[in-house]
C-alpha cells in the first residue's frame, strides 16, 4: 500500500464502519485507509480476544447486537482461507461455513436492529463464474459450476435478510488480490526469485487480478457510491493469461521463467484445489466499477507488480 491516502478516500461525511476480517489480507490494509480518511472503524473480534470491537463467534452463532446499532456501514470480509492446504472434506466445510453461516448470522442480526446500517459491503469472489475459458464475463454472466461457484452463490444468497430489510448490499467479487504481504503473489515470490517459476498447466487459462490498493479502493468506492448494489466485479480492467502473468513477474524480478508445472503435477500436489484455483480460467471485467467511475490506481499488470515489489520500471 502507498503511504498517501487517495483524495477519493477522504471525501464525503465521516462514516462509522464495522469491519469483519479486519486482521486479514484485505482488512488490514483497509483499516488504516479508512481511519486516515476520517472514518471511525470498529473491528469485529472474537469473544475471547483482548482487543476492543464488536464481539462475534459465527460458529457458536454469537454476535453483539448492541455493537452493530447505529453504525453507518458494515464491511464483511471474514472467511476461511481457500488456499491454505489441500481441500479435505473438513477444509471445504470450513470454507463454506465460515462464509455462508457467518454471513447469514450477520445479516439476520442487521435486519433485526432498531437502527440498521445503510450499507453492507460483503466480500465474494470471481469463483462464482467457474471455469469459463476465454469468455468475457461481467456481472450479468451466469453462475458457473464447481465447489467455489456453489460457495459464492450461497455466500451471496446468505445476505438476503439484510437486503430484504432495506440495507444496500454490495457483493464485491474479488479476483486474485496481489500483494507481497500474503496470498498468491507472496507464495510465488520465492520460486520465481530462485529462477524456478514458470507457467502452470497450459498457461492459457485467464487470471483476473486486482492490486491491493484497488481492492481497498473498490471497498471504499462501494461504501460511498449509493448507486452501486448487488454484484460488482473487483478486478483490474484487463485479465491476463497465466503465461502473460508468469512473463510479467519474471521481467519485474529479472529472473528466468522456464520451469513449468504441468497440470498433472499440480493436481498431484494440490488435489481438487488445483483445478479450481490454478488451472481454471475466468476472464472477468469490472463493468460496474467502470460505469460508476471508479478510477483504478493500478490498471496494468506489469507496472502494478513493479510498484508492489518496489521495482517500478
Q: What pLDDT does residue 11 have? A: 52
Q: What pLDDT does residue 84 have? A: 73
Angle between helix axes 242-253 and 301-308 (nearest 10 degrees) is 40
For residue 46 the three cell numbers come to 472474537
Q: pTM for this one? A: 0.94
Residue 87: helix, strand or coil by DSSP?
coil
Contact 15, 220 (CB under 8 A): no
Contact 45, 55 (CB under 8 A): yes
Q: What pLDDT does residue 269 have? A: 84
List the Cα angle 81/172/83 in 5-degree steps: 15
How far, in Å, CA of 52 to CA of 47, rounded? 10
> Beta partners for 123?
172
Q: What pLDDT does residue 312 have? A: 65
For residue 282 the three cell numbers come to 475466468
Contact 31, 24 (CB under 8 A): no
- Domains of the chain in start order, with CATH, are 7-177+209-235+285-298 (3.40.50.720)
Per-residue pLDDT of the chain (313 residues), as tens digits, is 443 334 444 456 899 999 999 999 999 999 999 999 999 999 999 988 778 999 999 989 999 999 999 999 999 999 999 987 789 999 999 999 999 999 999 999 999 999 999 999 999 999 999 999 999 999 999 999 999 999 999 999 999 999 999 999 999 999 999 999 999 999 999 999 999 999 999 999 999 999 999 999 999 999 999 999 999 999 999 999 999 999 999 999 999 999 999 999 999 888 999 999 999 999 999 999 999 999 999 999 999 999 999 986 5
Residue 166: helix, strand or coil by DSSP?
coil
Start-to-end C-alpha separation, the chain: 18
What does the chain come to in residues? Answer: 313
For residue 214 the three cell numbers come to 484497488
Q: What pLDDT does residue 86 have? A: 87
Map grid coordinates 452463490 to a residue.
153
> Beta partners for 176?
209
Q: Which helix (H) or strand (E) holds 71?
A: none
Q: Which residues contact 140 (CB under 8 A, 6 or more apart)?
A: none
Q: Which residues contact 301 (CB under 8 A, 6 or more apart)?
A: 209, 236, 238, 240, 244, 245, 248
Amino acid at each position: 500500500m502507498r503511504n498517501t491516502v487517495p483524495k477519493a478516500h477522504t471525501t464525503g461525511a465521516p462514516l462509522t464502519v464495522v469491519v469483519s476480517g479486519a486482521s486479514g489480507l484485505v482488512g488490514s490494509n483497509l483499516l488504516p485507509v479508512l481511519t486516515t480518511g476520517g472514518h471511525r472503524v470498529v473491528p469485529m473480534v472474537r469473544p475471547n480476544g483482548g482487543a476492543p470491537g464488536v464481539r462475534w463467534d459465527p460458529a457458536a452463532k454469537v454476535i453483539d447486537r448492541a455493537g452493530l446499532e447505529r453504525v453507518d456501514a458494515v464491511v464483511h470480509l471474514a472467511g476461511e482461507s481457500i488456499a491454505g492446504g489441500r481441500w479435505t472434506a473438513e477444509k471445504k466445510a470450513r470454507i463454506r461455513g465460515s462464509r455462508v453461516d457467518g454471513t447469514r448470522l450477520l445479516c439476520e442480526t442487521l435486519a433485526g436492529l432498531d437502527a440498521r446500517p445503510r450499507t453492507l459491503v460483503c466480500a465474494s469472489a470471481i469463483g462464482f463464474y467457474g471455469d469459463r475459458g476465454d469468455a468475457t464475463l461481467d456481472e450479468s454472466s451466469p453462475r458457473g459450476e464447481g465447489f467455489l461457484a456453489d460457495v459464492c452463490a450461497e455466500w451471496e444468497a446468505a445476505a438476503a435478510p439484510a437486503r430484504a430489510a432495506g440495507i444496500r448490499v454490495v457483493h464485491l467479487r474479488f479476483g486474485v488480490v496481489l500483494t507481497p504481504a500474503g496470498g498468491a503473489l507472496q507464495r510465488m515470490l520465492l520460486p520465481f526469485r530462485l529462477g524456478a517459476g514458470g507457467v502452470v498447466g497450459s498457461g492459457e487459462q485467464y487470471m483476473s487480478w486486482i492490486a491491493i490498493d484497488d481492492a481497498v479502493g473498490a471497498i471504499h468506492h462501494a461504501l460511498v457510491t449509493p448507486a452501486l448494489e448487488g454484484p460488482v466485479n473487483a478486478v483490474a480492467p484487463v485479465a491476463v493469461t497465466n503465461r502473460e502473468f508468469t512473463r510479467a513477474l519474471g521481467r519485474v524480478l529479472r529472473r528466468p521463467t522456464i520451469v513449468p508445472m504441468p497440470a498433472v503435477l499440480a493436481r498431484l500436489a494440490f488435489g481438487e484445489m488445483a483445478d479450481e484455483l490454478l488451472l481454471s480460467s475466468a476472464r472477468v471485467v469490472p463493468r460496474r466499477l467502470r460505469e460508476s467511475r471508479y478510477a483504478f490506481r493500478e490498471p496494468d499488470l506489469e507496472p502494478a507488480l513493479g510498484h508492489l515489489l518496489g521495482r517500478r520500471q
